[in-house]
Amino acid sequence: MQGRFFVNSNAFDQILQEHYNNGQVFVDKDFPAADESLIDPNDEIDDLMELGPVTWRRIRDIPALVDQNGELHIFQGYIEPSDIKQGQIGDCYFLSSIAALAERPDRIRNMFLNDDANDYGVYGSVMYKNGIKMCVVIDDLIPCKGNKAAFARSNGPELWVVLLEKMWAKLHGCYDRIAGGLEYETIRDLSGAPGYFFRGIDDETFEKIFEYDEANYVMGCSMSDTYDQALAEQQGIVPGHAYTLLSAAEVLDINGNTVRLVKLRNPWGSGEWNGDWSDASPLWTNELRQQVGFDGSRDDGIFWMDFNDFKEVFGFWSVNKTLDNSHYNYIVM
């Protein structure tokens, strides 16, 4: 054991087998259901203090996470980025990261050492810390306000979001320490895939986005620190917020002019750009919507922008070179 974590994933199997044999529910003494797992004592400005009293509940005692038959599932049907709902902690970068990985559901499934939920509250994942592959094992005691999970959760009765967030908090020492971060570093530590951060967006960026999308790499972006925040909010963009960068496309508008578009997602699952090429923009024709596979009929956090608007509003972007069915033994820093 290295600190609070295991280097070998066999540790998860041993813990699960032990509790299967003795019939007892797992209690993780390394990440206890207590304030020390919530609050960073060195944080002078602690947003979590504003939460008030928090109770820790077993997943089975959280109604929204149990299906109508009283059963638990890590995954309920198809894994979708829209499954994710943010709670009362500023970890949008983390939710944006797992939403980006969820574009290809096997990337999320492969993170778990569990095949499905179990009656002993033992859950495990492989993550990376300082370039070292770690087995993170947790119990299923979840911080709650009332009978609802206080932090991130799924929109339906499935466990993968709430479990991954708790594993991420354990990896960093407490929930408080996961408020604020960078998407490319998070995807690197979740998947092991090397990540690259770029300051500034220019015309060459469009070609790179197009190329990386074709390779199924994971991308993210955030607003420029020089763009007017009040104007951004009027346009539906959240300052200081992490967005998933989904794809790029070139289309011909109704006048026959070539337009470069980029597709983004707000990890909140709602709140979208309302300028040119937004959902309700008159620039869309039925033919163009069909060409890029854009529905645009609901506020789901997914939207398109003209690349010229994108490079003005957004100033930072990143890519992680994720490869399906690949396992990374180390990270090249």
Residues 6+ apart with CB under 8 A from 70: none
Which of 268, 215, 208, 263 lies closest to 241 in space, CA to CA?
268
> String of b and e for 204-234 (b: at least 16 CB within 10 Å)?
ebbebbeebbeeebbbbbbbbeeeeeeebee
Query: Are residues 302 and 210 in contact, defined by beta-carbon separation less than 8 angstroms?
Result: no
CA 321 – CA 204 distance, rounded (Å):
18
CA angle 217, 240, 158 (to 5 degrees): 60
Specify whether 241 is catalytic.
yes
Specify whether 266 is catalytic.
yes
Which of 55, 56, 36 lies closest to 46 in space, CA to CA?
36
Is residue 95 classed exposed, middle or buried when 0-12, 13-18 and 19+ CB atoms within 10 A define those classes? buried
CA 125 – CA 115 distance, rounded (Å):
11
Per the residue annotation, which of 19, 92, 174, 221 is the catalytic one?
Answer: 92
Per the residue annotation, which of 135, 221, 241, 320 is the catalytic one?
Answer: 241
3-state secondary structure of 108: helix
Per the residue annotation, which of 19, 221, 266, 320 is the catalytic one?
Answer: 266
State the catalytic residues: 92, 241, 266
